[in-house]
Amino acid sequence: MSAATVDSRPSNRVGYVAIAVLMAASIGVQIVRDRGWAPFVPPDPTLWLQSGRVAEKVFLGYRHLVADVYWMRAVVYYGGKRQRAGAQQQSRAPATANFEQLYPLLDLVTSLDPHFLVAYRFGAIFLAEPYPAGPGRPDLAVQLLERGIERDNGRWEYFEDIGFVYYWWIKDYQKAAEWFKRAGEQPGAPAWLEPLAATTLAQGGDRQSSRLLWTQLLASDVEWLRNSAQLRLRQLDAMDQIDELNRRIQEFEAREKKRPTDWRQVGLPSAPLDPTGTPYRVNPKTGLVDLGPGSILFPLPR
Amino acid sequence: MRVIRLIAGAVFKESVRDRVPYAMVVFAVLLIAASYLIGQLTAGQDMKTIKDLGLAALSIFGLFIAVFIGIGLVSKEVEKKSVFGLLSKPVSRTQFILGKYAGLVMTLAVNLGVMTMAFFAMLYYMNATTPAGVRAAWPSPAMDPRLLLAIGLIFAELMIVTALALFFSAFSSPLLATLLTLGLWVAGHFNADLRNFENVVDSAVVVAVARGVYYVIPNLAPFDVKAEVVYGMPIAMRAVSFTLIYAAVYIALLLTATVTIFRRRDFK
């Protein structure tokens, strides 16, 4: 062996062992600390940059990267609030969710990156979701999508999404049909939009036409849109099932002059399950069937 | 220990001679003073704004001191070749690194101390010149001693950042070390999002990776109790204690890694 190949530097074996031990200790300390600890969220957290125009100037050539970061923050913000609302619903605690930073965040994202398709479309879904699962602001959802039309060369998806917001949340079928028709007129729009506009105008509001609408979206090549359509179709199934269960309860009440105390009294072997497998519950105040605590179908559209 | 103390003292003297920390402290003091003026524009939220700005100034300028001086500690010695002279004396590489780190922590402590005094002077002035009725509406008293807890945690966080800067400067160029340190500082503050990644992502693999990253990279979010202090909210002392233990363990980890790398480094 030549002298040049001999490594005369000190061995680092003890150092490596110490690093491994200290890393394990740091993880252990974090695990113990995190038990029962959650970062404090101020009652009214400050979004320092609320103006998209200011942000455009501040972030110079990195606007798109910053838009990505803010988009992630918007998703985490909405996800966290929604999860807390779900936990409150499950424990039957009063809802306290406050989504007031959501629109400014989405406005910031779409100002920084005017072609951020998902931010407009997903953002509109977040905004339109009724309270407490979302802020229940379909008006802001429409506003965001209209901005998308203005800034992002009038893509047909935005017209279609506005139609959905009018159809599903605002229940203005005339306007929904108008937007579907306009969507169908945009370049690259799928052929089913124009017949959808006609169906909406003729039968808007009934569950059958809603089902038709969401079934069309099940064929979408965008995964989250397919997931959303699947959820809406399950909600429609749940609404049908709830109607049927309420009919049975009302028949029992009319016949026996009292509320049923057991599902067997209305001809069911056990508590019926909603399409996600969560048992339905009877609201003790109204005597009507409702989604069980923790059902991901909550809240059902009105 | 004596050798480490001597090196630390030399680092401290060198930092004192350096004009950069002075400039930063003066700038931070000016910013804290300016917060008084800014506070006048905040429609009744002046005390909150002054505390927000003051604590942010302490944290940001402390970060600059930790990163920019911390990076230069080792790289300057190597570039100027003065490391040869130093290591030819009865000074081990471990003592060299620990001494450099202790010296910078001393510098940091003095700088933060000056900024804290300026901050409290501003709060004292605000407290003395505000009518009792207005003071009663503040979410927490102006001279809230818990502000010192927030500053203490900022100091602990900056000690981690200093160790990070030293770690990266032990094997990379000053520019790269600066970028890596600042990058990890940013990531460390977003780290809390990684802990609950399952709320936004369905993939179990992604969630597991995010959880792994959460535990490995420096977790700086728990050091930030500024909002709790400003809003007068209770602070879980158990969490604070564990956060300080975490800081001690993580600093030990970084210094061990730095020494491990530096011991085998060839100087050309």
pLDDT per residue as tens digits for the range B40-69 = 554 555 677 778 778 888 888 889 888 988
- The minimum CA-CA distance between B44 and chain A, rounded to whole Å, is 15
* Cα B131 to Cα B92: distance, rounded to the nearest angstrom: 60
One-letter identity of residue A245: L
**A289 strand-pairing partners:** A282
Query: Does residue A44 surpass a pLDDT of 60?
Result: no
Do B253 and A19 count as a contact with CB atoms less than 8 A apart? yes
Q: Are residues A54 and A148 in the same domain?
A: yes
Q: Does residue A39 fall inside a structural domain?
A: no
Among chain B residues, the shortest Cα distance to A40 is held by B228
**A103 strand-pairing partners:** none
Among chain A residues, the shortest Cα distance to B223 is held by A39
Do A22 and B216 count as a contact with CB atoms less than 8 A apart? no
- The minimum CA-CA distance between B22 and chain A, rounded to whole Å, is 28
pLDDT per residue as tens digits for the range A89-133 = 777 777 777 888 889 889 888 888 888 888 899 899 999 988 888
Domain boundaries, given as residue ranges, for chain B? 2-263
Q: What is the largest CA-CA distance in chain B?
A: 68
Residue B115: CB atoms within 10 A of its CB come to: 25
pLDDT per residue as tens digits for the range A221-244 = 667 677 878 888 898 899 999 999
Comparing B78 with A155, the larger pLDDT belongs to: A155
Residues in B touching A68 (Cβ below 8 Å): none
In the prediction, which pLDDT does A9 show?
67
One-letter identity of residue B25: V
Residues in A touching B238 (Cβ below 8 Å): 33, 37
In the prediction, which pLDDT does A124 show?
94
The three-class DSSP label of residue B233 is coil
The three-class DSSP label of residue B189 is helix
Do B233 and A40 count as a contact with CB atoms less than 8 A apart? yes
Query: Does residue A161 surpass a pLDDT of 50?
Result: yes
Do A19 and B228 count as a contact with CB atoms less than 8 A apart? no
Mean pLDDT of A66-88: 81
Backbone angles phi and psi of B102, in degrees to 5: -60, -40
Average pLDDT, chain B: 82
- The minimum CA-CA distance between A138 and chain B, rounded to whole Å, is 22
Global pTM value: 0.59
pLDDT per residue as tens digits for the range A162-220 = 998 998 889 888 898 899 889 988 988 887 787 777 777 776 767 777 787 778 777 77
Cα A240 to Cα A196, A226, A244, B192: the distances in Å are: 22, 21, 6, 42
Residue B118, exposed/middle/buried by CB under 10 A (0-12, 13-18, 19+)? buried
One-letter identity of residue A27: I
Q: Does residue A265 fall inside a structural domain?
A: yes
In the prediction, which pLDDT does B40 show?
57
Q: CB distance from B121 to chain A under 8 Å?
A: no
Residues in A touching B228 (Cβ below 8 Å): 40
How many beta-carbon pairs below 8 A join chains A and B? 80
In the prediction, which pLDDT does B228 show?
81
Residues in A touching B200 (Cβ below 8 Å): 75-76, 79
Test the A interface: residue of B96, B164, B253 with most A CBs within 10 Å: B253
Do A76 and B195 count as a contact with CB atoms less than 8 A apart? no
Do B256 and A22 count as a contact with CB atoms less than 8 A apart? yes
In the prediction, which pLDDT does A86 show?
75
Query: Does residue A6 surpass a pLDDT of 70?
Result: no
Cα A39 to Cα A112, B151, B161, B191: the distances in Å are: 28, 17, 21, 11
One-letter identity of residue B7: I
Residues in B touching A30 (Cβ below 8 Å): 215, 219, 242, 246
* Cα A212 to Cα A205: distance, rounded to the nearest angstrom: 11
Look at A20-29, A66-75, A145-154, B208-217 and tell me which has the smallest mean pLDDT.
A66-75
Comparing B134 with B214, the larger pLDDT belongs to: B214
Average pLDDT, chain A: 81
Query: Does residue B100 surpass a pLDDT of 80?
Result: yes
Among chain A residues, the shortest Cα distance to B221 is held by A39
Q: Does residue A147 fall inside a structural domain?
A: yes
Comparing CA positions, the residue from A285, A287, A301 lying closest to residue A92 is A285
Please count the structural domains in chain A: 2
Comparing CA positions, the residue from A176, A185, A226 lying closest to residue A204 is A176
Residues A128, A169 contacting (CB under 8 angstroms): yes
* Cα A172 to Cα A164: distance, rounded to the nearest angstrom: 10
* Cα A193 to Cα A182: distance, rounded to the nearest angstrom: 9
Q: Which two tokens stand for residue B204?
A: 């179990």
Residues A238, A253 contacting (CB under 8 angstroms): no
Query: Does residue B257 surpass a pLDDT of 90?
Result: yes
Q: Say if the ipTM goes beyond 0.95.
A: no
Kindly indicate the confidence band of residue A149, based on its pLDDT and cuts at 50, 70 and 90: very high
Do A19 and B259 count as a contact with CB atoms less than 8 A apart? no
Comparing CA positions, the residue from B106, B146, B100, B140 lying closest to residue B255 is B100
Backbone angles phi and psi of A38, in degrees to 5: -135, 140
Query: Does residue B23 surpass a pLDDT of 70?
Result: no
> In the listed set A119, A153, A187, which residue is the last one of a domain according to the structure?
A153
Q: Which two tokens stand for residue A164?
A: 């959905």
**If you search the block for the tokens 């300016």, which residue do you land on?**
B34
> In the listed set A106, A135, A153, which residue is the last one of a domain according to the structure?
A153
Q: CB distance from B253 to chain A under 8 Å?
A: yes
Kindly indicate the confidence band of residue B244, based on its pLDDT and cuts at 50, 70 and 90: very high
Do A18 and B256 count as a contact with CB atoms less than 8 A apart? yes
Do A12 and B263 count as a contact with CB atoms less than 8 A apart? yes
* Cα A207 to Cα A232: distance, rounded to the nearest angstrom: 11
Tell me which residue in A15, A37, A45 faces B256 most closely, judged by beta carbons.
Answer: A15
Comparing CA positions, the residue from A301, A140, A149, A139 lying closest to residue A228 is A301
* Cα A147 to Cα A133: distance, rounded to the nearest angstrom: 24
* Residue A230 region by backbone torsions, left for phi larger than 0, else alpha for psi between -120 and 50, else beta: alpha
Kindly indicate the confidence band of residue A5, based on its pLDDT and cuts at 50, 70 and 90: low
Residues in A touching B263 (Cβ below 8 Å): 9-10, 12, 15
Tell me the residue ranges of DSSP E strands in chain A: 281-282, 289-290
Q: CB distance from B20 to chain A under 8 Å?
A: no
End-to-end CA distance of chain B: 29
Mean pLDDT of B126-136: 79
Collect all residues from A whose CB is shorter than 8 A from any CB in B. Answer: 9-10, 12, 15-16, 18-19, 22-23, 25-27, 29-34, 36-37, 39-40, 42-43, 45, 72, 75-76, 79-80, 83
Q: CB distance from B268 to chain A under 8 Å?
A: no
Look at A119-133, B15-29, B31-45, B114-128 and tell me which has the smallest mean pLDDT.
B31-45
Residues in B touching A25 (Cβ below 8 Å): 249, 253
Residues A272, A263 contacting (CB under 8 angstroms): yes
Tell me which residue in B243, B260, B266 faces A15 most closely, judged by beta carbons.
Answer: B260
Look at A80-84, A196-200, A297-301, B28-32 and tell me which has the smallest mean pLDDT.
B28-32
- The minimum CA-CA distance between A262 and chain B, rounded to whole Å, is 36
Domain of A107 in residue numbering reads as 47-153
**A282 strand-pairing partners:** A289
> What sign for the dihedral angle of Cα A100, A101, A102, A103?
positive
